[in-house]
Structure 1
Amino acid sequence: MPDHALLAYGRAQCAAYPRVVDYMDVIASICPPAAADVLRESSIAEAAYARRDAAVQAICDRSRHRPRITPVRVARVPEFSEVGMEAWEDHEDSAEDVSLMHGDLVGSAPGYLSIDLSSEAEACVTAEAYRRRPPVEVKGWDKVIGVGYRSPTGDFVLRDPMAEPELPNLAIVGKGHYRVRVHYREPDWEADTPQHLLVMIYPGRGDRVIDLKKSSS
């Protein structure tokens, strides 16, 4: 359809608005009543998102982790991820991928660590970096798995690869060997509450994978 015909069609739609309209968003630029409705619906949707974000943040704040020893660095972010969290260091020794996920939760290779999350719920994400091994905590968590991790650059940053924000660098002593302890609590689907993720990282050698939840039961 040529431009003049499209414009005439849009004006006809506007004249009939709101009784007849096929493309409200499309004609909004030439139709003030449609533009007002588009703006109103957008404002309603943004307000709903803001309320949801505030509710999730309130839950994250109420359930904030209280560490048993003082971490050197702490970061907390609400997250909605379709692909989980990962840390990848740009180095020739970094693995291209992680083929094995332990407990359907965490996979580790030199320069690369991935954490699986549900793509259908928000997440309260907490990361804590320690200079020494923190006490083991399993109560209240559905999964707790410890893995080894080697940082080839000393730049260990967890992020959602498809979105912001990212967490700060957790490799507090630079490149080298670390242990990473990943805690996961599932969302309450009926109550529509977020899932929870707590990541503890501290210097330490060893590549052994430990299911701490099972070993403590």
Structure 2
Amino acid sequence: MPKRSRVLWAAAALTAVAPALYSRVVSLLSGDDGSRSYVTMSSGSCLGWDIYDQISPWAYLIKALPLFSYGGAPLIVLGFAGWCLSLRSGRAGLGGIIGRWVALVLLVLNLPDFLLPALDAALGPACTEIWGPPELLSRQFAWRLYDFLPPILVLLAVRAPRRPYVRRGPLARTTAAVLVVTAVVLVPAASASPGRVSTKRELDCAGFGDGTVKGLSETDKRFLCAVRGYDRPYESGVEGWDEVSDQDVLAQGRHLCALATRHGGDIHARAVQEAPQASLANMLAGLCPAVTRAQQAEAGRQQAEEDAYVAQKERACAAHPRHRPKIRPVRQRRATLWTEFWTIDGWEEGYEGDPPDLVEELVGSGRGTLAIWAADEAGHACVTVESYTRRPPLETRGWEEVVEVGYESPTGSLELVDGDGTRLKGLTTRGPGSYRVRVHLRGRELVTQVIDAPDGAVELLVQVFPGTAKKPVVHK
């Protein structure tokens, strides 16, 4: 039984049990059991954490077995006993198999705790934060590397002595190189200070600043301004990214851009929304050409759809017979007017404000202001406006409601304005002074009682003419 192998087996057992013994001694001496808990919050999905979340319950159950307590020391002792018995019985090959299986089991149990945080650390800061503060992650990497020592010592203990040096195969060399590079690069990176975070002035956001930051394109600067909320005076940036370095934000933005590009520039695609950097999706348009094109195409589609909708309503209004007045008006105009809050407003420049109260829930007036009911909360009305120099004959036939009110024009420039900004001007014919406004309505019952009323259901005839009377009159 080689002395070298016995020493390595003993070293493996001591290395495995050392952290637990150290923690026990510290706990007894200080009264602190050393336990700490961390609460982390994240959005999206990170590959390493998702895998860890799936396998950790099973791993905990296995590690809770007495055989794997104290870093796997009982398993190592049991493996050593099997190795000794195999050698005494002359079956050295069986002893080697037992030792390699012990090492393999320990490696399989410990590898996820190292490789999965390393994977998320490589994906970016948003995923790294899931595993806890940087100092915790740095210590975790160091302890996980330490956990590899016992199985490595076991492998060395059962390694058959060879006289010549045998060069390892490419798989072994690659694995060793990856572990070394990961340890060298990721462990310091986890505790390294964050990179440059440029200020609003340095990025020249919204045209305020000196733009002194170097090495960034205008596209990069606009993206950083949007992410950090520098281009919106009263809004904050994307939560969780305000202290992330410029280069990391840009790298994660470009990664998300590549993902969105593979889905046609759609930031609402499931893969984009579930990505670790998903919170950056709404800011991608300036950085990602594919997203810009997709959003422009969607805006064009929505505009075309809205234009077609409006055109349909306008055709319905145009299909109504034109009103034939009893006397010739100075002006007659027709339009499809829209409202989001029940009424169409009229006003003169300098007198815009709260609409007046309505008489019979149809028309109301004040000095320089006018309001006419046009739709049940939101909708459209087919409006005809007629301006006269004298009082027109009263018409009630064919109309459901007819109400007349007085109106005082301070400037002589009354106009009707709807929710889309359409204006009907020139309603007053004699400049500033006193007028009467007579409003005729049909279709109110239809739109208030039917969920999907037909297009052009509401018709309004508005007649404006000189008159000094102030009292409203309900004709019908």
Could you tell me the TM-score, scaled by structure 2's length? 0.40
The one of 445, 449, 455 aligned to 1:193:
455
How much does 1:98 deviate? 6.2
Find the residue that maps to 1:33 and give its secondary structure: helix
CA distance in 2 between counterparts of 1:96 and 1:40 reads: 38
Kindly indicate whether the alpha-carbon contact (under 8 Å) linking 1:25 and 1:34 is maintained by their aligned counterparts in 2.
Answer: no
For 1:26-105, what aligned pairs fall within 5 Å after superposition?
26-68=283-325, 69-83=327-341, 84-89=343-348, 100-105=357-362
Structure with the bigger RCO (C-alpha within 8 Å, sep 6+) is 1
Closer, same or farther in 2 for the Cα pair 1:7/1:103, shift >3 Å?
A: same
Q: Which runs of 5+ in 1 are unaligned?
A: none
In the alignment, which residue of structure 1 is the partner of 2:415? 157
Find the residue that maps to 1:34 and give its secondary structure: helix
The one of 115, 131, 140 aligned to 2:389:
131
In the alignment, which residue of structure 1 is the partner of 2:472? 209
Equivalent residues, number: 210
Closer, same or farther in 2 for the Cα pair 1:48/1:131, shift >3 Å?
A: same
CA distance in 2 between counterparts of 1:212 and 1:124 reads: 21
Find the residue that maps to 2:271 and give its secondary structure: coil
Closer, same or farther in 2 for the Cα pair 1:98/1:26, shift >3 Å?
A: closer
Kindly indicate whether the alpha-carbon contact (under 8 Å) linking 1:13 and 1:20 is maintained by their aligned counterparts in 2.
Answer: no
The one of 236, 248, 258 aligned to 1:5:
248
Q: Which moved more, 1:188-197 or 1:137-146?
A: 188-197
Closer, same or farther in 2 for the Cα pair 1:129/1:99, shift >3 Å?
A: closer
CA distance in 1 between counterparts of 2:305 and 2:348 reads: 37
Q: Which runs of 5+ in 2 are unaligned?
A: 1-240, 264-269, 274-279
CA distance in 1 between counterparts of 2:440 and 2:259 reads: 57
In the alignment, which residue of structure 2 is the partner of 1:183? 440
Kindly indicate whether the alpha-carbon contact (under 8 Å) linking 2:363 and 2:371 is maintained by their aligned counterparts in 1.
Answer: yes
Closer, same or farther in 2 for the Cα pair 1:74/1:30, shift >3 Å?
A: same
CA distance in 1 between counterparts of 2:410 and 2:289 reads: 58
Kindly indicate whether the alpha-carbon contact (under 8 Å) linking 1:88 and 1:112 is maintained by their aligned counterparts in 2.
Answer: yes
Find the residue that maps to 1:8 and give its secondary structure: helix
Kindly indicate whether the alpha-carbon contact (under 8 Å) linking 1:24 and 1:34 is maintained by their aligned counterparts in 2.
Answer: no
Amino acid at match of 1:127: V
In the alignment, which residue of structure 2 is the partner of 1:21? 272
- Deviation track 1:118-166 (CA, whole Å, cap 9, x = no partner) reads 3311222221101222233334433221112222332222224x65232
Identify the structure with the greater strand proportion.
1
User: Following superposition, which runs of at least 4 residues in structure 1 exceed 4 angstroms of deviation?
Assistant: 94-99
CA distance in 1 between counterparts of 2:357 and 2:296 reads: 47
Kindly indicate whether the alpha-carbon contact (under 8 Å) linking 2:366 and 2:407 is maintained by their aligned counterparts in 1.
Answer: yes
Kindly indicate whether the alpha-carbon contact (under 8 Å) linking 1:184 and 1:197 is maintained by their aligned counterparts in 2.
Answer: yes
Find the residue that maps to 1:108 and give its secondary structure: strand
Amino acid at match of 2:475: L
Kindly indicate whether the alpha-carbon contact (under 8 Å) linking 2:412 and 2:433 is maintained by their aligned counterparts in 1.
Answer: yes
Could you tell me the TM-score, scaled by structure 1's length? 0.81
The RMSD of aligned alpha carbons is 2.8
Q: Which has the larger radius of gyration?
A: 2
How much does 1:95 deviate? 11
Closer, same or farther in 2 for the Cα pair 1:45/1:177, shift >3 Å?
A: same
